[in-house]
Amino acid sequence: MHKQLLGPGITFFPQPTTLVSSVDADGKVNIMTASWVAMVSKTPPTLAVSLHHQRLSYANIHQQGEFVVNVVPADLALAADYCGLRSGHQTDKLAVTGLTTRRASKVAAPLIAECPLNLECRLTLEVPLGDYRLLLAEVVEVQATASAIDAHGDLDAASFDPLVYLGGIREYWSLGDKRATAYRDGLQLEKE
Amino acid sequence: MHKQLLGPGITFFPQPTTLVSSVDADGKVNIMTASWVAMVSKTPPTLAVSLHHQRLSYANIHQQGEFVVNVVPADLALAADYCGLRSGHQTDKLAVTGLTTRRASKVAAPLIAECPLNLECRLTLEVPLGDYRLLLAEVVEVQATASAIDAHGDLDAASFDPLVYLGGIREYWSLGDKRATAYRDGLQLEKE
């Protein structure tokens, strides 16, 4: 397991593929691809999203204080890539991708209907990090596509089919096989 | 695409599966599973890691200011799960998992040799978020297993075989198939 030095950089994976939806003061919707997204607290549920400060989505969220993080399914890889390549300053990305929106339950920004998991967020803190702004936001509601939830209320990963982004490698991948159940299977190591 | 409300919560995926390695003042190593990890800036390269404030890893990083984020391969799913279930206050997780360490190039905390991608980090800012501490850190060096890098210097995703964590569902999955090349394939939508 010989190692090679790559130097300082942003190569890191796997990452989520999400579309962030936001609105401006006139209610006009913009969507933008974001993979620099992570859950960061459960007291209260808090999501972190990092955006370049020149992005229209950043301006919308900074001004309106609300947004939705929509998890992208694998069959929308091209739409996700497109929404990262073009700016809402010049392009109506909903029109080009054919994605549709739906009213959220607690924030003014809409959900993306075709995305199976939608986290409604209210901005609580901004941290400037060079050209980027780390947006910390309380998750005030989570919505999921009903067909991905079974009779016990469990979420079926295969139905969600979330798209994985490999940052640094610049590739989108689907999920393969389930390898383990978390908070359980690791205890097998104590019996060996 | 009927939606169901799940309420506020931390269900979000896909997430990375990483092991964070750190040392205490005596140089004793601890490792801990972390999935609440994201790249958040490239000016300079900055990683965000959120840890519960009672974790030994948090104490180590808070005191020493350095750590390594190690990307977990799919064949180490049980070891990753174990290192999230047990605390370094009571358990020598390296001994139980059989994972081995190697000296990092720029920080005192070691790499985990079996992990194919290792990000050496220096703490720059802490943000308290309830019971959690969001640690923002500059990535001062990235190392990768040489066998996963081809002659052109490109990283081969299949060789890395990164383990994906589904937060909220509590499942670990492998990668499936490549679906698209980022920053390129999305432009096909403008031709349609």
Chain segment A126-140, per-residue pLDDT in tens:
999 999 999 999 999
Task: Report the pLDDT value the prediction gives residue A192, as an integer from 0 to 100.
Answer: 67
Nearest by CB to residue A163, choosing from B173, B179, B188, is B179
Instruction: Please give, rounded to a whole number of angstroms, the shortest distance from the CA of B28 to a CA of chain A.
Output: 22
* CB contact at 8 A, A32 and B186: no
Query: Cis ω on the peptide bond leading into residue B14 (within 30° of 0)?
Result: yes
Task: Report the pLDDT value the prediction gives residue A117, as an integer from 0 to 100.
Answer: 97
Task: Report the pLDDT value the prediction gives residue A191, as an integer from 0 to 100.
Answer: 81
Task: Report the pLDDT value the prediction gives residue A150, as an integer from 0 to 100.
Answer: 87
* CB contact at 8 A, B84 and B33: yes
Nearest by CB to residue A44, choosing from B117, B130, B167, is B130
Segment B8-55, tens digit of pLDDT: 999 999 999 999 999 999 999 999 999 999 999 999 999 999 999 999
Residue A50 to residues A136, B72, B174, Cα–Cα distance (Å): 9, 23, 26
**Chain B within 8 Å of A26 (Cβ-Cβ)?**
no
The DSSP string of B33-61 is EE--EEEEEETTEEEEEEEETTSHHHHHH
Segment B116-172, tens digit of pLDDT: 999 999 999 999 999 999 999 999 999 999 998 988 889 999 999 999 999 999 999
**ipTM for this model:** 0.97
pTM: 0.97
Task: Report the pLDDT value the prediction gives residue B73, as an integer from 0 to 100.
Answer: 97
DSSP β-bridge partners for residue B127:
B134
Task: Report the pLDDT value the prediction gives residue B192, as an integer from 0 to 100.
Answer: 67
**Chain A within 8 Å of B106 (Cβ-Cβ)?**
no
Segment A14-57, tens digit of pLDDT: 999 999 999 999 999 999 999 999 999 999 999 999 999 999 99
Q: Is residue A160 scored above 70 in pLDDT?
A: yes
Q: Do A155 and B168 touch (CB under 8 A)?
A: yes
Nearest by CB to residue B155, choosing from A42, A145, A168, is A168
Parallel, antiparallel or unpaired: strands A3-5 and B29-34:
unpaired
Task: Report the pLDDT value the prediction gives residue B151, as an integer from 0 to 100.
Answer: 85
Percent of chain A with pLDDT over 70: 99
**Chain A within 8 Å of B122 (Cβ-Cβ)?**
no
Task: Report the pLDDT value the prediction gives residue A1, as an integer from 0 to 100.
Answer: 73
**Dihedrals φ, ψ of A46, to 5°?**
-135, 130
Q: One-letter amino acid identity for B187?
A: L
d(CA B23, CA B25): 7
Interface test with B, best of A4, A20, A117, A138 (most B CBs within 10 A): A4
* CB contact at 8 A, A50 and A145: no
More confident residue, A191 or B178: B178
**Chain B within 8 Å of A141 (Cβ-Cβ)?**
yes
Nearest by CB to residue A85, choosing from B8, B13, B183, is B183
When the pLDDT of each residue in chain A is averaged and rounded to a whole number, the result is 96
